[in-house]
Chains A and B, each alone.
Chain A
Amino acid sequence: MRPPFIDGRAVLRERMRAKAQVDATAAQAELPDNLESFLAHLRLLVGVPFEYLVPDARLLPDEAIRFFYVDRSWTDRLVDGALAVGKIGTREQAHHHAHAAPVAERLDGTERAVRDLQRRRVQLADVRATQEEAPPPPAGVVTGFLLRSAAVAGWPDMDVRAFDTVLHEPIDPAVAQAHQLTTLRLERLAPAVLFALFDGVPQLVWCEEPHHGVQFGVERSAQGFAVPRRTPTGQREPAPLINAPTRARKPRVLSIAGLRRELWKARATDPAMVAQTGSAALAIELLDVPWRQRFQGAGGADLHHPHAAPVRIEIVTRVADASTAAAFDQVVRR
């Protein structure tokens, strides 16, 4: 019988010398796609039972929001635990030990793509390709919030954004975009519990009423219903509300003609208001802009002070404009 090239003793010696089994840069050390994806999701606590996130229900009472930092050591232990599956001997252990650092580095990049992966916008292969082209910066602090409120159940798809600086109203969309922190995760864990993770430490977080089209509505006042005064660009004026009359026989049917009359009268003394020339001007008055709830700190990292500011939307009315006729002509006779 031919003697083997190598015996057990020699193998052991070799393994003692090269604990990594295989170099981390070798093609064979590449994580399989679904393993990498799973571990990246695990890093962002996807699938972790709620009892682990909030060990006691009293830590997240009803109608409360809790901001937090994500404990990176905790998520690293999650990944360690996942990689411990099937670890039956020193060989697996040595392999894990040698590859833990490159795997962690890799996941630091992949975890930022989890939201896109969750929404099936990209494939993991695409993520890898982009990261090879432009390696992501090292992983930083991950923060977020847990919100338990009837608002979560009643207003699905609310708009949540975080910024690395305190933006002041009115907000320039370009500046807002430049300062926005990447949302790593935004999910409802239960019908009334919203979970959000951001890449970085925010100075301002806002939750906006969902923008399902701009809606129309009125406000409640002592006399029944009222509408705010608005300028031709939809900005709300601080002046008192204007009463919205209703029909005598149906108190929830607005008297549209009466509302126009009230607005017409108010405009006579308040020229900043939109002129009631027709349906577009009335629509501006009835616009119910989405509410934007701001959470911001006094400049530090704490997010304890909520500030509410209504959203401003830009509305341009060309109704009273001289160029309206020309615009219509172009539209209609095109």
Chain B
Amino acid sequence: MSAPPRGSMVLYDDIVPAFDDGDYRLVSATEVAFDAEQHARPVLRAFTIDGPRFNLPPGEVASVYPPRNARGSFDLGLPHVALRRRTLPWERPLDARRPIPPPVVNPGDPPPLAARAPWLALLLFEDGEDAELLRNVPLERVVPADVFARLGSPRNILCDALDVERGLLADVLPSKEELKLLVHVREVNVEDRELATGSGDGFFSVVVCNRLPSQGASCRACLVSLEERSDLVAANPPPEATVAPRRPPRARIEADSELDRAELRPHDEQFVMIPATIGLPEPRRARLVVLHTWQFTSQGAGRFEDLMMNLDVAMAGTVTSAQPTMTDSGHLVMSLGDRAGAVEDVLMRGPLVGVPLTRDPLGPYHSADQARRVSPETGLEDISYAAAFEVGRLLAASDRALAQALMQWRRAAYHQAALLDHVSALRARVAWPLSGDVLARLPEAMVPICLAGALERLVGGTGPIADLDGLRAVAGVAGLDPEVVAKAWGLGSATEAQAILAGAGTLGVAVASPPVTPRPDTTLDEVQKDEAGHKRLAEARSRLLGNAATRLGGR
């Protein structure tokens, strides 16, 4: 079954569970026939279907209306409670053995409903009525003995109870037929805002109250259990008020009790008849198991639509009377003590204006004075924007964290600006051996760029080595210089020293470095073509192998 589309909902009369709550016995028998014998092995299992009965966990209640402890104009709304379990109102029988007779059907009445009667009802009591809420009462002291027996005499049950005067209860309690009409199931799309929170499947059972709260009354709504309360639930509702003599409702409706007295005089015979039908030995009070209860106050200024329809609708800057003095541009004329101490009339307009305005392109402004204007028509000063500037400044200045953020924002910019200044000064002074791209990125990251440059140089190579064999360096040593030697040793001439050092023609002569054998890069193919090399390698390998074998063999 797919969920209803968004914005719509599906209503059901009832959703009756397949089984009532209670203890069940399951008998399963398998008959096996073999060897012409019958073997029956019945299996007996017991199970219990359990649900809320004398207490209702608060989590089972999805929502209540009017809201808990709310104040508002609820005098035309029927209180209701939405429960998360769609089957809850039908999980228990109202009267399992049907002691409540079917209702009397007068000619012209609709046929009675075949639906199952729910065991829950929502009752509303107002302040000053004879109804009292009791907490944690033993069940035996709540229901009469015969009802307790029909409930199965459960032991050690504490529940909340409503202690109410019997006549009052009879006046507000729905009849069995009405109970069926006051409970239904609502299926909503869980994406909908309504009742959507925490509901898995979008089904709610809704119990509606049959009583409207009086204007100005503080009320208590009670979700009560009527399971097996055939002593209280009537087959037929109490008599209806006749329509014709009813006065039109007044602006203030008195509490029920007052109206009762006023309205009941013409119906005295009815009033007399009622106690007779109840029966004389009935106790004066009755108690009911309360599953959920909440309070609210019905008071308010009327209906939403009345308030909204009577609104004064206008654009901003509209005044109903001549006061206050407004210009047609929506400016308010107000007096201001100026710097000189003189009081002058000025124009002031808030940010909310009745006509579309163009945005001032002359920004930004650096002081409130910059934003002061003079109206050319009246010569009055317009302080609107100056006031805006000041209120913005004060709001920002009052926020310490904000002032810090502002400083942080500026400081980041100044820091960066200082860096840029240094870089440009350096560029002007030093002939920087870096490319333009690198220079442009200098302020971002000086060190990484220098490192990158150094690395580039390393990778690019350092060129040929000048004194590969070190001969020139050696030749430069003082002890090998013939002139130094001659001078040091007091020789006759440098030639003499040269002869002593190494004979003629070797020292002091520029020595040519031995040519470096060019070794071009070779490829794998060329290596493979080198037959002689391969042969030499093969020989060397066999020789090594021979040596190894000889050693191993000799041991």
Contact = CB atoms under 8 A, between A and B. Distances in A.
Given A28-B416, A295-B313, A76 B363 contact: yes
Given A32-B405, A54-B350, A21 B414 contact: yes
Nearest to B17: A332
B428 to A, nearest CB: 9
Contacts of B486: none
A255 interface: yes
A315 B174 CA distance: 26
A100 interface: yes
Interface stretch (B285-293, B304-312, B458-466, B499-507): B304-312
A214 interface: yes
A313 B8 contact: yes
Size category of the binding interface on chain A: 35 or more
Given A61-B320, A252-B211, A315-B9, A293 B364 contact: no
Contact of B354 (A69, A217, A324): A69
A291 B302 CA distance: 13
Interface string B370-410: 01000000000000111111111111110101110111111
Chain A facing B: main interface SS: mixed
Contacts of B210: 253-256
B313 A257 contact: no
B7 A278 contact: no
B359 A72 contact: yes
Interface string A208-243: 010111111111101111000000000000000001
A94 to B, nearest CB: 10
Contacts of A299: none
A332 B18 CA distance: 7
B387 A251 contact: no
A54 B397 CA distance: 23
B425 A6 contact: yes
Contacts of B78: 215-218, 254, 286
Nearest to A255: B240
B403 A86 contact: yes
A257 B181 contact: yes
B409 A245 contact: no
A192 B446 CA distance: 61
A250 B332 contact: no
A269 interface: no
Given A55-B349, A69-B353, A279 B413 contact: no
Given A54-B350, A278-B13, A317-B11, A84 B334 contact: no
Contacts of B533: none
A92 B410 contact: yes
B183 A279 contact: yes
A326 to B, nearest CB: 9
21 contacts: A5-B422, A11-B418, A26-B416, A32-B405, A42-B395, A54-B352, A67-B313, A69-B356, A76-B359, A77-B371, A77-B385, A78-B391, A213-B194, A224-B246, A248-B270, A257-B177, A276-B110, A283-B184, A306-B309, A314-B5, A318-B10
Given A14-B421, A220-B249, 8 more contacts: A11-B418, A71-B351, A72-B357, A77-B392, A84-B393, A216-B78, A254-B211, A291-B308
